[in-house]
Structure 1
């Protein structure tokens, strides 16, 4: 006989309010582990939504560097629930965050041994990031970078950190696209800029020696650029690296729920992130493949390497993308890091996990790009 809804809710509330401690401390909680297990079994006795107890999650210590442990345990960013009500409020938030990123750029350039030049390609503002030493096998290779930031953050030099890391750790020359963004330029401005650059550089460079990469929004744009290249019959890159891609811009996917309030970077879709999604889409269907590339056709995609972490709000976006690529017959690697929230593999150039992530991507590109 089906248990009355109010009874299930009561059991669930009891389980949720009874304990807020990690597993190791159950014996000191308001209820014993055995009682908690009994309550949870009852609350999850029927097919449907999963009910979980409130709990603390300790930082992983095995196979995680001290630098990464510090990032994993950091508080939520102060802007995670920002709710700008106007274009001017969005711009103020964007500028404030950009200043924080730009402040780190000079040190990154020095430590990783790269130089940065501004240019325009097909009328789009770009940066050319060149390592002091380009590996011999990379001298004719070229990478195109599209930055992350929820389609709103990362204008100008604030877009550079990931491109600098790829150039520095990988030994590649990189073009970073400073694409237009909301609030002034919603979809499809960002994609139009990125594609204009891609179309122009493939006129003078062999696409078999080129790759596209980016993280989060940049990961989604990387995937969407390949979709557009297919549709527009343009050359496709020899490989791509969409890191923790925002491949479904809507709140669809398991870890939007399971890693909500666990990811200490994005935290929740219902904060600034979801508001940025709607601002960017500007009324366009969120399942449009150029906005949410998970709904596109991945057949014929180039070899792909994806990166995420076990606490990443976008882990499901990454996993869904990986599975869809594999089902389409595409060579696809998936690297998932212990304990990391969204894109934390690129937050600290001194963390060994950062060098490891970019080295893995560089090796993947080396296998698939023509010399």
Structure 2
């Protein structure tokens, strides 16, 4: 789509009320990892099965060859392509981890270009402050089973020398009073990125944006289990996402 590789997930049993709706997914993976397409493909299938609608998973170009802003630009190109045939109210944008950074930056860039906003933004364990100024980057060091402060090297690879406190790189520092979609945030109580989600939730609420924050006890970065073998808590996260979609994905077709 627009020259960007995209994996399209189609549910075997699509929901009749979501036949004209879609989720634009931006995968995580440390900005520079998991860029071979296998992760994007797997997530397209997984999310389509869960949500009962078509999923477009962007396999954006990644660092070191393609640092910021290329991943954001690739995601925006796919979003603009969807807007040619879809009502923005029928589109949800979802990203996890580094994909949450890229997805949020993409939505903000679309807004600043006067493009219509998607209906909802779903962010799972997102990195939203690349300057790593939040408390959890220190107090949860050593508690997170998957991430540590060594992610600084991956952030630097992605940022390519740009100011880490720039709102275009760290969405947390953006002005949300200019408009932003309803947002679902999920984070783990033991992950080093916890502060990013907490601070983002407060920034959105101060701007009057509908937003929910769900923090999971004992959870490190990412899900408890694998997509092939989710833990009960992972199923509960999925249930909360679905409830949020039902509440904010309107008007009904």
Whether these two folds match at TM > 0.5 is yes
Partner of 2:203: 324
Partner of 1:232: 113
Relative to the length of structure 2, the TM-score reads: 0.94
Q: Deviations over 1:214-264 (max 9, x none)?
A: 111111122212211111011110111011210011221000001000000
How far apart in 2 are the matches of 1:244 and 1:346?
A: 14
Tell me if 1:145 matches 2:64.
Answer: no
Secondary structure at the residue paired with 1:124? coil
Q: Is the 8 A contact 1:141 1:369 kept in 2?
A: no
Task: Report the CA distance between 1:165 and its aligned residue.
Answer: 2.7
Partner of 1:282: 160
Q: Is the 8 A contact 1:162 1:346 kept in 2?
A: no
How far apart in 1 are the matches of 2:111 and 2:101?
A: 16
Tell me if 1:339 matches 2:218.
Answer: yes
Task: Report the CA distance between 1:346 and its aligned residue.
Answer: 6.0
Partner of 1:169: 50
Q: Is the 8 A contact 1:170 1:358 kept in 2?
A: no
Which structure carries more relative contact order (alpha carbon 8 Å, separation 6+)?
Answer: 2
Q: Is the 8 A contact 1:347 1:354 kept in 2?
A: no
Task: Report the CA distance between 1:363 and its aligned residue.
Answer: 2.3
Q: Is the 8 A contact 1:239 1:365 kept in 2?
A: yes
Q: Is the 8 A contact 1:131 1:172 kept in 2?
A: yes
State the structure with more CA Rg: 1
From the superposition, tell whether residues 346 and 363 of structure 1 become closer, same or farther in structure 2 (CA, over 3 Å).
Answer: farther
Tell me if 1:133 matches 2:13.
Answer: yes
Task: Report the CA distance between 1:345 and its aligned residue.
Answer: 4.4
Q: How many residues align?
A: 248
Q: Deviations over 1:31-72 (max 9, x none)?
A: xxxxxxxxxxxxxxxxxxxxxxxxxxxxxxxxxxxxxxxxxx
Partner of 1:208: 89
Instruction: Specify every segment of 5 or more residues in structure 1 that has no aligned partner in the other structure, as ranges.
Output: 1-120
Q: Deviations over 1:145-183 (max 9, x none)?
A: 000112111211123343333222221210000000011
Within-5 A mapping of 1:189-204? 189-204=70-85
How far apart in 1 are the matches of 2:226 and 2:198?
A: 22
Partner of 1:305: 184
From the superposition, tell whether residues 290 and 367 of structure 1 become closer, same or farther in structure 2 (CA, over 3 Å).
Answer: same
From the superposition, tell whether residues 362 and 312 of structure 1 become closer, same or farther in structure 2 (CA, over 3 Å).
Answer: same
Q: Is the 8 A contact 1:147 1:215 kept in 2?
A: yes
Q: Is the 8 A contact 2:58 2:75 kept in 1?
A: yes
Within-5 A mapping of 1:1-371? 121-155=1-35, 156-266=37-147, 268-269=148-149, 271=150, 273-299=151-177, 300-345=179-224, 347-348=226-227, 349-370=229-250, 371=253
Q: Is the 8 A contact 2:73 2:106 kept in 1?
A: no
Quote the RMSD (CA, aligned, Å): 1.3
Q: Deviations over 1:323-348 (max 9, x none)?
A: 10000101101111110000124634
How far apart in 2 are the matches of 1:211 and 1:289?
A: 22
Q: Is the 8 A contact 1:239 1:369 kept in 2?
A: yes
